[in-house]
Chains A and B, each alone.
Chain A
Amino acid sequence: MTAFLEAIRLVAAPDVLIAIMASAVYGLVVGSLPGLSATMATALLVPVTFYLSPIAAIATIITASAMAIFSGDIPGALMRIPGTPASAAYTDEAYAMTRKGQAELALGAGLWFSAIGGIVGTLSLILMAPMLAEMALSFSTFEYFWLAFLGLMCATLVARSSPIKAIAAMLLGLLFACVGIENPGGVPRFTFGVTDLLGGIEPIPALVGVFAVSEVMRAMMTPEPPPLPRRRFGSILAGQWALTKKYQWPMWRGNIVGIIIGVLPGAGADMAAWVSYATAKRFSKEPEKFGTGHPEGLVEAGASNNASLASGWVPSLLFGIPGDTITAIAIGVLYMKGLNPGPTLFTERASSMYALYIIFVLANIIMIPLGILMIRMASLVLRAPRSAVMPVIMLLCAVGAFATGNNLFSVMLVGLFGIIGFVMERNGYPVAALVLGIVMGTMVEQNFVTSLIKSDGDVLPFFERPVSSVLAAMTIAALLWPAAVWTLRRLRRAEPAR
């Protein structure tokens, strides 16, 4: 109880409250601009968090990401351009509703069910994390190795591209993580005599480059989206209660699917939205209405992507294994602020954990009034020409990268990773897998090598402990899954030919 009161005191500090409000507005604006994703919003925030208190830093990340995930629905519904990839699953549906004259209902559903999903996801975080922490205390390097590897494999499944290309992207990320002297031998590895590389490739410049610079690069070659027609909105929340009652089951299913996908290391909001939209259609009583402006899928997927956002923090806080790209960034911030992820976080820093929960709930509550404001102002924000927004984003990339270590080498790294991200995306290599590889590389290697040393180079002990054998089975299943899908498809295609 004292820890809880302490947590309230921590959150009620003026700097934290200001940070929450400012990052909420920032997240809403950035998320609503097409092409600027929630991950990018978070990545650009990191340099700012350097200079904030630990709780304020975490608060900005949580608030900005939750707002950006909702806000991505706005251009999706109004212009049929998803603001963030997590909204892409139901953009067509929301736009169809707008064309039917139900823009308010579509946007309101995005807002209302995002907030519900976020709160239910937070509850799952509160309930699950301490239970899993008990279990995690008995984990050895074998379990950690498999968990990290499972996370990487899940990240390759998420991408809707060739699984081999996804695995290649992930391996490329691991290779980047090899650079530097932070390795089992403490020798300079792949530094080519460059002093700046001795410290390794920091995840933040890589993230900013891959997610922000490459987006500016893409804007250079694609035409500007059409301007948003001005429109007046009716009541946004009217009718949401009726929707909640009518689609109670899809809503809960969305919440639960989102939570499960979020907890899986490596899989995040994008995948949650796609899976939930698909299950909504599969189990709906009126699947033929999907795609014509039917709110059911919106309810389920809208709840799902925000629920996954909160539960994605479970593996991040417990094991330091990111649930998605946003928590991959958050983990870096946690380390920087002395809140090193691990099961002991829940006993030693209980008040900080409670503060984190409170911020999550708070962010999802203020999402409703701020979201309504944002929807009403959307035509104003979305009118900002891209040729004015993108140069500023690029400038922020440069300054942000510089701020991470006050050296200009990171600015060059940001540019380099922009090119890498751009070329990879154009050729069907998912960049999220690359980023998770870079972020988790050191951890995977450490646990892999320590386990190998413990087992004297033998592979068998990797499968001997009960939990590690289960995790190994899951990882191998994730590895073989694409092959199974491919075989099934071949069989199915062969049948009608007969």
Chain B
Amino acid sequence: MHLSDRVTGLFLAVLGALAFWGGSRLPAVPGQDVGPAVFPMVVGGGLVLCGVLIAIGIGRSFEEAEVEPVEAHEGLARHLGDRRALAAFVPPALLLFYALASETLGFLPTAFVMVLLAALSLGASLRLAVIMAVGAPPLVHLVFYKLLRVPLPAGLLPAPW
């Protein structure tokens, strides 16, 4: 996910401009000059300025040279080869899965899938991945559900406690 400064700078500038525009359209407080619009407009303006400066490369001399590791990769990153940056998006995808599935599937099955897939993509052996996926979720459930009383969903497989 290494993007050029031009891309990130322009993205920030556009975001800032949108914030400025969006802020300026907010309704004012009656009888008051200063309302909810001021702060997003100031921040948006600042972002536009910074974004443009970044895009034209000012301040780059302060950055340290990036060292891209080229060593051997494990797990999913190795299978993906040149597209190994995609492997990094496995954790957010699994979190999304948790958000969508945990209500119906229940905590234990959802957590089993998450830990199993994450461990395998990190290059764990199947044995280790299964041990972790079977062992860790009940422990987490015990601590959060029993001790901290977080209402984790029971779903298909309720915990025995």
Say if the beta carbon of A262 comes within 8 Å of chain B: no
Q: Among the listed stretches A3-11, A157-165, A276-284, A307-315, which one makes contact with chain B, having 4 or more residues with CB under 8 Å of it?
A: A157-165
Q: Which residue of B53, B99, B114, B140 has the most chain A CB atoms within 10 A of its CB atom?
A: B99
Residue of A nearest to B98 (CB): A398
Interface residues on chain A, number (Cβ under 8 Å): 77
Q: Which residue of A50, A189, A406, A416 has the most chain B CB atoms within 10 A of its CB atom?
A: A189
Residue of B nearest to A224 (CB): B74
Q: Which residues of B contact A164 (CB under 8 A)?
A: 50, 53-54, 58-59
Say if the beta carbon of B109 comes within 8 Å of chain A: no
Which A278-334 residues have C-beta < 8 A from chain B? none
Contact with B along A155-183 (1 / 0, CB 8 A): 00000111111011001101100100001
Which B85-100 residues have C-beta < 8 A from chain A? 85, 87-96, 98-100
Q: Which residues of B contact A428 (CB under 8 A)?
A: 63, 66
Once A184-B29, A217-B88, A408-B102 are accepted as A-B contacts, the answer to whether A398 and B136 lie under 8 Å apart by CB is no
Once A164-B59, A427-B8 are accepted as A-B contacts, the answer to whether A448 and B114 lie under 8 Å apart by CB is no
Within the assembled complex, what's the spacing in Å between the Cα atoms of A175 and B69? 33
Say if the beta carbon of A477 comes within 8 Å of chain B: no
Residue of A nearest to B19 (CB): A175
Contact with B along A389-414 (1 / 0, CB 8 A): 01110111111001100101101101
Contact A422 B8 (CB under 8 A): no
Say if the beta carbon of B132 comes within 8 Å of chain A: yes
Within the assembled complex, what's the spacing in Å between the Cα atoms of A456 and B43? 20
Size range of the interface on B?
A: 35 or more
Say if the beta carbon of A445 comes within 8 Å of chain B: yes
Contact B46 A387 (CB under 8 A): no
Contact A185 B26 (CB under 8 A): yes
Of A160, A223, A411, the contact of B71 (CB 8 Å cutoff): A223
Say if the beta carbon of B122 comes within 8 Å of chain A: yes
Of A165, A222, A391, A415, the contact of B132 (CB 8 Å cutoff): A391
Distance in Å: Cβ of A51 to nearest Cβ of chain B: 4
Contact A185 B151 (CB under 8 A): no
Distance in Å: Cβ of B28 to nearest Cβ of chain A: 7
Say if the beta carbon of A252 comes within 8 Å of chain B: no
Say if the beta carbon of A135 comes within 8 Å of chain B: no
Contact B71 A48 (CB under 8 A): no
Of B60, B74, B132, the contact of A223 (CB 8 Å cutoff): B74
Distance in Å: Cβ of A248 to nearest Cβ of chain B: 34
Say if the beta carbon of A419 comes within 8 Å of chain B: yes
Contact B95 A222 (CB under 8 A): no
Residue of B nearest to A428 (CB): B63
Within the assembled complex, what's the spacing in Å between the Cα atoms of A230 and B89? 34
Within the assembled complex, what's the spacing in Å between the Cα atoms of A119 and B60? 40
Q: Which residues of B contact A51 (CB under 8 A)?
A: 147-149
Which B62-121 residues have C-beta < 8 A from chain A? 62-64, 66, 69, 71-77, 84-85, 87-96, 98-100, 102-103, 111, 114-116, 118-119, 121
Residue of B nearest to A408 (CB): B99
Contact B91 A427 (CB under 8 A): no
Contact A187 B123 (CB under 8 A): no
Q: Which residues of A contact B44 (CB under 8 A)?
A: 175
Contact A395 B59 (CB under 8 A): no
Contact B122 A162 (CB under 8 A): no
Contact with A along B1-29 (1 / 0, CB 8 A): 11101001000100110010011001111
Say if the beta carbon of A239 comes within 8 Å of chain B: no
Distance in Å: Cβ of A61 to nearest Cβ of chain B: 16
Within the assembled complex, what's the spacing in Å between the Cα atoms of A202 and B16? 21
Q: Which residues of A contact B22 (CB under 8 A)?
A: 190
Say if the beta carbon of A337 comes within 8 Å of chain B: no
Of B39, B95, B128, the contact of A449 (CB 8 Å cutoff): B39
Distance in Å: Cβ of B37 to nearest Cβ of chain A: 8
Contact with A along B114-158 (1 / 0, CB 8 A): 111011011110001100110011001000100111111000000
Distance in Å: Cβ of A182 to nearest Cβ of chain B: 10
Distance in Å: Cβ of B112 to nearest Cβ of chain A: 10
Within the assembled complex, what's the spacing in Å between the Cα atoms of A220 and B115? 13
Q: Which residues of A contact B16 (CB under 8 A)?
A: 171
Q: Which residue of B26, B28, B103, B114 has the most chain A CB atoms within 10 A of its CB atom?
A: B26
Within the assembled complex, what's the spacing in Å between the Cα atoms of A405 and B68? 39
Q: Which residues of A contact B115 (CB under 8 A)?
A: 391-392, 394-395
Within the assembled complex, what's the spacing in Å between the Cα atoms of A300 and B29? 54
Sorted nearest first, the 8 A-B pairs with minimum C-beta distance are: A415-B95, A387-B124, A387-B122, A185-B36, A391-B118, A162-B59, A415-B92, A168-B50
Binding site for A on B (CB under 8 A): 1-3, 5, 8, 12, 15-16, 19, 22-23, 26-29, 32-40, 42-44, 46-47, 50-51, 53-54, 58-64, 66, 69, 71-77, 84-85, 87-96, 98-100, 102-103, 111, 114-116, 118-119, 121-124, 128-129, 132-133, 136-137, 140, 144, 147-152
Known: A184-B35, A187-B27, A448-B42. 19 other contacts (CB 8 A): A164-B54, A165-B59, A178-B43, A183-B36, A220-B76, A220-B122, A223-B69, A223-B72, A388-B132, A391-B133, A403-B150, A415-B91, A418-B91, A419-B89, A428-B63, A429-B8, A448-B38, A452-B38, A482-B62
Listed by A's residue number, 18 A-B pairs whose Cβ atoms lie within 8 Å are A162-B54, A162-B59, A175-B43, A178-B40, A189-B40, A220-B88, A385-B124, A391-B114, A391-B133, A392-B132, A395-B114, A397-B95, A398-B114, A399-B152, A408-B99, A408-B103, A457-B33, A486-B62
Binding site for B on A (CB under 8 A): 47-48, 50-51, 160-165, 167-168, 171-172, 174-175, 178, 183-187, 189-190, 213, 216-224, 385-388, 390-392, 394-399, 402-403, 406, 408-409, 411-412, 414-416, 418-419, 422-423, 426-429, 444-445, 448-449, 452-453, 456-457, 482, 485-486, 489
